[in-house]
Every structure is written in structure tokens, then in C-alpha cells.
Amino acid sequence: MANICPYCFSDFSPAASEFRCVNPRCVKSADIEATQFRTGYIGRTLPDESIMPRVMGPKYFKGLGSSAVCPECKIKSHKRVCPACHNPIPESTLTGKDMILSIVGSRNSGKTVFMGIIIEELRRRVLNSFGGAMWGFEDTAQRYDNGVYKKLYKELSMPELTVSALADTDENAHKPLIFTMSFRGFGQRLKTFTIVFFDTAGEDMNELDTMSTVTRYIAKSAGIIFLIDPLSLQGVRALLSDDDVKRSNSIDFNDQAGAGAVIAKVTQLIRNERRLSYTRKIDIPVAAVFSKLDPIERLFPNGSTTLRNSPHCSLQKFDRNDRQMVSDEIHSLLNEWGAGYFTTQLQTVYSNYSYFAVSSLGLGNAPDENKKIRTPHPHRVEDPLLWLLKENRVI
Ligand SMILES: Nc1nc2c(ncn2[C@@H]2O[C@H](COP(=O)(O)OP(=O)(O)OP(=O)(O)O)[C@@H](O)[C@H]2O)c(=O)[nH]1
Ligand SMILES: [Mg+2]
Ligand SMILES: [Zn+2]
Ligand SMILES: [Zn+2]
């Protein structure tokens, strides 16, 4: 995936870069683009903080456009920003080594929790076993640590359902989490790339329009993690106690779009954005993931591969056999539990997909009646991510 701004997901041409003056004493002026981005493009009046160091367009470039000279203070700046949203651009965006992974799914499907857990697992454990490391771009680590990480690992409680991007007034809500990763594949050279996570609200999945940031994010992603809440399936709820259902769920499923409706919407958007005809399959790899494996653990057959621990990290390589066995297990359970509409869609529309099942919180760690948990000890959360990295030839 080349040259896409990791903040607003607009196409970004390095030749049309802009630069922000780095001189703290230089004149400051209102930054409309930055303000629009922060406030979610909903036309609020400019707050005072919008007064920022100025941004210089291409006419101030020096040389090949790797810097610009500020017309006010004449100081050279290398601080490259996106022309559309004025956020800083990571080096890897210029060299086309970004990888946008989108996490989608209906309301309450576990996206925020999954993202919160997978990031910690990657930086603490998974990358280590693959000889890699990861660090946040700009204020990413701070935003993550003070946000969903604090909620899940310090307060041991559940995040609120994510507020629609249209209604949200939290400035950070519109900022994706951007991590640079260094990875040594098996016996290969060190690779550095940037991975972008953006926490979408399930509420927005129904109303996606072609202009929205969420749409660009999905259509431009190098991999899609599609979370399916098993409890949203009537066939599953029928097999569980009311208490099991209540602890891992905070919505009424009757008035929510299901996984089938969401994937149909996502498909339509990708087709529109990429101008793909209805006869062509979409080649973005899709990991269709059962989230919340823990409350349905006992519905799995004896000897199930899915209930065993993930083998990839201890093997230090991606175990294709294991992936296939898990995928087959989940596929047949989905059909059994009445999600045939979903599996048929995947099969007819996407050329590369695989089924997974994870528990972000861990087996036996469903939230209690106060939404409290013990320290997360996730089950197989890394599997979909490692598969997408493999499909993108990173590992
Ligand atoms: N038992 C169990 N419950 C989970 C797990 N992950 C999430 N949940 C439950 O599902 C609820 C919703 O999870 P979120 O991650 O907030 O869901 P979301 O997809 O971000 O929802 P929206 O923001 O509305 O789109 C949580 O409050 C938990 O009750 C899990 O791994 N196990
Ligand atoms: Mg959420
Ligand atoms: Zn941008
Ligand atoms: Zn200046």
C-alpha cells in the first residue's frame, strides 16, 4: 500500500508534500485543515488551539522536495505534513511501506477490546518471538497507554461502546494508532513498516458513506479483520444461559445490524472506492474472526484445535496447518449456528479469506456483572494478525 496518509487516509503524493515550520518563535496562524481533522470535519468554529506554526506548500521546496524554507523566518524544515489534514507523515508513508489493517464488525462485536489487547500482545510478546520490535509514531503510545490500555490492563474494566465518528467531540477519537514495526522474518533481512489501527464505531458501519474517513480506511487497507460476535447469532444464544449472554454483551441484538449486513456494506464500499465491477472478487485478505470465544468454549467439540493455544509464536513461524484446521472448524460452526448468509458472502466476494476464533480477554475471563475482569490472558488473538502479515509477505 503506497502513499496514503495514515491519519486521514487520503492519497498522498510525496511531490505535493507540505512542511510545517519548526521554529517555535515563528509567527503562528490558524490551521483550518488541522482543526477540521481534529473536530471530525463537522464544521465547528475554530478553537484557539488551531493557531499553529505555518505550513508551507510546494512553492517553498528546496531541492527534491525533502524540505522547505519558511518564508517568514527563513528556517529550513524537514517536518513533512499531509496536505489534506496537516498531520505529520511517517517516513514509511513516503517509501510505501505502510500497512493499514482495518478492524470492522457490528456494534459490540469486540473491536475496541481486540485492538487494545492485540497492541499490547504485539509489543510485549509476539514481536519478540519473531525477532521484531514496535514503537508508536508521534503521540500514539501515549494515546494508547492513557486510553484503552489503561482501561483494560490497569482498571481491569471494559471500554464504553465507541461513539460515532460524527458525534464524537473527543479530539483523539479521530486519530488512528500508528506503530512502526521492525521485523526479521525467518532468516530474512530486517523489515521496517508502519501499521495503522483505527477504531471504528460499529454504530457507523450502517451509515458509511463514500466521503467518510472510515470508508477510505477500509477501502485502502492491506487486510481486514472482520469481527463476528458469536452471541449475535440466535443459534448460539439458544445454547447458552442468559447470564453467559449478558456478561459478554451490552446491547439488544434485535435492533442491530448483524455481521452479514455489515460485510455487505463493507463490500459495497470497497467496490465503489476501487471501482471494481460486481463480477470481480476483492483480493484484500479478510480474516473473519469469531471474537469472544470464551463464553462459547464449551460448544466446541472435544479435541478442537481452536481451543488449543496458538502455536505460531512458540514455533517462531506461521503454522499453515493450524490455520487451516481452525478455519475449517469455525466455518462449519458458523454454518451450523445459522451464519450461512455470512459465509456465503465471503466465499462469493473475496478471493482470500480465512476463519479464526479469539478470546481477547481469555478463557474463563468474561466480564462480571460490574464489567470487571482479571488481567487479560488472551487466547489466539495474534493468529489473524500474523496471517495478514504473512499474506502481505512481511513474515
Ligand atoms: N467474554 C468476552 N466478552 C468480550 C470480549 N471482548 C469483548 N467482550 C464484550 O463485548 C463488549 C463490547 O466490546 P467492544 O470491544 O467495546 O465492542 P466494539 O466492537 O468496539 O463495539 P462498538 O464500539 O459499539 O462498535 C465488551 O464490553 C465486553 O462485554 C471477550 O474476549 N470475551
Ligand atoms: Mg468500540
Ligand atoms: Zn492526512
Ligand atoms: Zn517559520
pLDDT computed for residue 3 by the predictor: 85
pLDDT at 248 over 60: yes
C-alpha cell at 388: 495478514
What is the share, in percent, of the chain residues with pLDDT greater than 90?
48
CB 373 within 8 A of CB 157: yes
Residue nearest to atom 30 of ligand 1 (CA): 292
Give the nearest ligand 1 atom to 109 CA.
19
Most ligand 1 atoms within 8 A of CB, residue of 118, 158, 250, 373 to mutate: 158
pLDDT computed for residue 163 by the predictor: 82
Coil vs helix vs strand at 288: strand
What is the share, in percent, of the chain residues with pLDDT greater than 70?
90
Instruction: Give the chain's end-to-end CA distance (angstroms, integer).
Output: 16
pLDDT computed for residue 356 by the predictor: 98
Highest mean pLDDT among 89-103, 170-184, 228-242: 228-242
In whole angstroms, give the CA distance from residue 388 to residue 395: 9
One DSSP character per residue, 69-126 reads E-TTT--EE--EE-TTT--B--HHHHTT-EEEEEEEESTTSSHHHHHHHHHHHIIIII
Using a CB cutoff of 5 Å, list residues around ligand 4, an ion: 21, 23, 26, 70, 72-73
User: How far away, in angstroms, is 29 Cα from ligand 3 center?
Assistant: 19
CB 381 within 8 A of CB 121: yes
**pTM for this entry:** 0.93
User: How far away, in angstroms, is 278 Cα from ligand 2 center?
Assistant: 31
pLDDT at 64 over 50: no
State if residue 148 touches ligand 1 by the CB under 6 angstroms criterion. no
Most ligand 1 atoms within 8 A of CB, residue of 108, 166, 372 to mutate: 108
pLDDT at 26 over 50: yes
pLDDT at 50 over 70: no
State if residue 110 touches ligand 1 by the CB under 6 angstroms criterion. yes
pLDDT at 156 over 80: yes
State if residue 232 touches ligand 1 by the CB under 6 angstroms criterion. no
Which value, to the nearest 10 degrees, does the dihedral of the CA atoms of residues 365, 335, 258, 220 take?
90
pLDDT computed for residue 230 by the predictor: 93
pLDDT computed for residue 183 by the predictor: 76
pLDDT computed for residue 215 by the predictor: 84
Q: How sure is the predictor about 1, in pLDDT bands with cuts at 50, 70 and 90?
A: very low
Residue 305: closest CA among 293, 320, 322, 317: 322
Give the nearest ligand 1 atom to 159 CA.
16
Give the nearest ligand 1 atom to 360 CA.
31
Architecture of the structural domain at 93-391: 3-Layer(aba) Sandwich (3.40)
Least-confidence region, from 184-193, 238-247, 299-308, 382-391: 184-193
User: How far away, in angstroms, is 68 Cα from ligand 4 center?
Assistant: 10
DSSP conformation class of 295: G
Q: How sure is the predictor about 340, in pLDDT bands with cuts at 50, 70 and 90?
A: confident
What separation in angstroms does the CA of 32 have from each of 43, 46, 52, 65, 217?
10, 7, 10, 23, 22
Q: How sure is the predictor about 44, in pLDDT bands with cuts at 50, 70 and 90?
A: low
User: How far away, in angstroms, is 56 Cα from ligand 4 center?
Assistant: 9
Residue nearest to atom 3 of ligand 1 (CA): 248
In whole angstroms, give the CA distance from residue 341 to residue 328: 17
Residue nearest to atom 32 of ligand 1 (CA): 292
Domain locations in the chain as residue ranges: 18-88, 93-391
Say which residue, 348 or 28, is predicted with more confidence: 348
User: How far away, in angstroms, is 279 Cα from ligand 3 center?
Assistant: 32
C-alpha cell at 275: 471501482
Give the tens place of pLDDT for each residue, 12-22.
888 788 888 88
Residue with cell 487486510: 223
Q: What order of strands is seen across the sheet that includes strand 76-77? A: 61-62, 67-69, 76-77
In whole angstroms, give the CA distance from residue 154 to residue 156: 5
22 CB contacts (<8 Å, ≥6 apart)?
A: 53, 75, 77, 78, 79
Q: How sure is the predictor about 63, in pLDDT bands with cuts at 50, 70 and 90?
A: very low
Q: What is the mean pLDDT of residues 348-358?
A: 97
Q: What is the mean pLDDT of the chain?
A: 87
